[in-house]
Amino acid sequence: MKILNVDVAIIGAGTAGMTAYRQVLRRGKTAVLIEDSHYGTTCARVGCMPSKLLISAADHRHAIAEAPKFGVNVDTSTVEVDGVAVMDRVKRERDRFVSFVVSDVEGFDADTKLWGTARFTAENTLEVGDHTQVNAKAFVIASGTSPRTPAALQELGDKLLTTDEIFYWDDLPKSIAILGTGVIGMEIGQALHRLGVKVTVVNRSQRIVGIQDPKVAENARNVFSEEMDIRFDTQVLRAERQGNEVQLSLQDAQGAESLLTVECVLNAAGRQPNIEKLNLAAAGVTVDAKGKLSFNAHTLQVENKPIFLAGDVNGLHPILHEAADDGRIAADNAVNWPIAPQAPARRCPMKVVFSNPQVMSVGLAFSQLPADVRIGEVSFTNQGRSRVMLENKGMLRVYADKNTDVFLGAEMVGPSAEHLAHLLAWSAQQQLTIKEMLGMPFYHPVVEEGLRTALRNTHSN
Which CATH number belongs to the domain containing residue 125 in this structure?
Answer: 3.50.50.60
* Whether residues 239 and 318 fall in one domain: no
Last residue of a domain, one of 218, 252, 269: 269
Q: How confident is the model at residue 37 (pLDDT cuts 50, 70, 90)?
A: confident
* Whether residues 366 and 443 fall in one domain: yes
* Whether residues 285 and 396 fall in one domain: no
Residue 137 lies in a domain: yes
The amino acid sitting at 249 is S
- Residue 43, pLDDT score: 66
Q: What are the tens digits of pLDDT across the range 239-289?
A: 999 999 999 999 999 999 999 999 999 999 878 899 999 999 999 999 887
The overall average pLDDT reported for the chain is: 93
Q: Which of 275, 285, 44 is nearest to 144 (CA)?
A: 275
Last residue of a domain, one of 242, 269, 296: 269
Residue 107 lies in a domain: no
Residues 6+ positions from 143 with CB-CB distance below 8 Å = 11, 12, 17, 273, 274, 275, 278, 313
Residue 7 lies in a domain: yes
pTM: 0.93
**pLDDT reading at 46 higher than 70:** no
Residue 164 lies in a domain: yes
Q: Are 123 and 283 spatial neighbours (Cβ–Cβ below 8 Å)?
A: yes
* Whether residues 264 and 282 fall in one domain: no
Residue 97 lies in a domain: no
Q: Are 266 and 162 spatial neighbours (Cβ–Cβ below 8 Å)?
A: yes
**pLDDT reading at 435 higher than 70:** yes
Q: How confident is the model at residue 183 (pLDDT cuts 50, 70, 90)?
A: very high
Q: What are the tens digits of pLDDT across the range 330-362?
A: 999 999 999 999 999 999 999 999 999 999 999
Residues 6+ positions from 440 with CB-CB distance below 8 Å = none
The enclosing domain of 411 has a CATH number of: 3.30.390.30
Residues 6+ positions from 407 with CB-CB distance below 8 Å = 363, 398, 399, 400, 424, 427, 428, 431, 432, 433, 434, 437
Residue 329: exposed, middle, or buried by beta-carbon count in 10 A (0-12, 13-18, 19+)? buried
* Whether residues 324 and 390 fall in one domain: no
* Whether residues 137 and 182 fall in one domain: no
- Residue 461, pLDDT score: 65
- Residue 5, pLDDT score: 97
* Whether residues 183 and 331 fall in one domain: no
Q: How many structural domains compose the chain?
A: 3
Q: Are 224 and 230 spatial neighbours (Cβ–Cβ below 8 Å)?
A: yes
* Whether residues 298 and 227 fall in one domain: no
* Whether residues 320 and 206 fall in one domain: no
* Whether residues 202 and 157 fall in one domain: yes
Q: What are the tens digits of pLDDT across the range 187-237?
A: 999 999 999 999 999 999 999 999 999 999 999 999 999 999 999 999 999
Q: Which of 361, 421, 431, 423 is nearest to 400 (CA)?
A: 431
Residue 436 lies in a domain: yes
Edge-first strand order for the sheet with 373-379 is 350-353, 358-363, 407-414, 395-401, 373-379
CA–CA distance, 52 with 44 (Å, rounded to integer): 10
Q: What are the tens digits of pLDDT across the range 380-413?
A: 999 999 999 999 999 999 999 999 999 999 999 9
CA–CA distance, 56 with 119 (Å, rounded to integer): 41
Least confident span in 12-16, 87-91, 285-289:
285-289
Last residue of a domain, one of 269, 295, 316: 269
Q: What is the mean pLDDT of residues 149-171?
A: 88
Can you tell me whether residue 452 is helix, strand or coil?
helix
- Residue 422, pLDDT score: 98
Residue 45 lies in a domain: no
Q: Are 16 and 324 spatial neighbours (Cβ–Cβ below 8 Å)?
A: yes
- Residue 292, pLDDT score: 82
**pLDDT reading at 39 higher than 80:** no
The amino acid sitting at 399 is Y
Residue 181 lies in a domain: yes
- Residue 164, pLDDT score: 81
* Whether residues 384 and 444 fall in one domain: yes
DSSP code string of 47-76: SHHHHHHHHHHHHHHHHHHHGGGGT----G
Q: What are the tens digits of pLDDT across the range 95-110?
A: 888 888 777 777 788 8
CA–CA distance, 311 with 4 (Å, rounded to integer): 25
Domain span at residue 9 reads 2-36+116-147+272-336
- Residue 110, pLDDT score: 83
- Residue 460, pLDDT score: 78
CA–CA distance, 112 with 127 (Å, rounded to integer): 15
Q: What is the mean pLDDT of residues 365-383?
A: 96
* Whether residues 379 and 255 fall in one domain: no
Residues 6+ positions from 388 with CB-CB distance below 8 Å = 445
Residues 6+ positions from 329 with CB-CB distance below 8 Å = 299, 300, 308, 310, 342, 343, 344
Q: Is 368 left (phi over 0), alpha (psi -120 to 50) or beta?
A: alpha
